[in-house]
Amino acid sequence: MKRTFIGAISLAVLMMVSSGTVMAKDANTIYNSKCKMCHKFDKKKVGPAFKDMNKDSAILKATITNGRKMMPKWGKKLTEEEINSLVVLIQSKQG
């Protein structure tokens, strides 16, 4: 009984870790081709640094999708899944 429980937990952790890695890689590729020219992870460039951005996933997602001032809208160029993975990437740079 105890064994099964531990097994289930390690499987869940493993799945979280591996899917996290895949998502981070995709988001990094998108970041390099579409965001890097205006956003750095840790310093202000044209736009704010990822680490200084809003911490609310819903706000981050809405801004990426619909744009704001100089920030282009990505809702038609990226899938919802890609936008979600970018939100995860941004949050991974925040303390």
Please, which residue, 10 or 59, has the CB nearer to ligand HEC? 59
Distances in Å between the alpha carbon of 14 and those of 7, 10, 17, 60? 10, 6, 5, 27
Please, which residue, 23 or 90, has the CB nearer to ligand HEC? 90
Please, which residue, 23 or 47, has the CB nearer to ligand HEC? 47
Footprint on residues 36-75 left by ligand HEC (CB under 6 A):
37-39, 46-48, 53-54, 59-60, 63-64, 68-72, 74
Q: Please state the φ and ψ torsions of residue 73, each to the nearest 5 degrees.
A: -90, 140
Cα three-residue angle 73-50-19, rounded to 5 degrees:
85
- Which amino acid is located at 27 in the chain? A
**Interface with ligand HEC (CB under 6 A):** 30, 34-35, 37-39, 46-48, 53-54, 59-60, 63-64, 68-72, 74, 86, 90
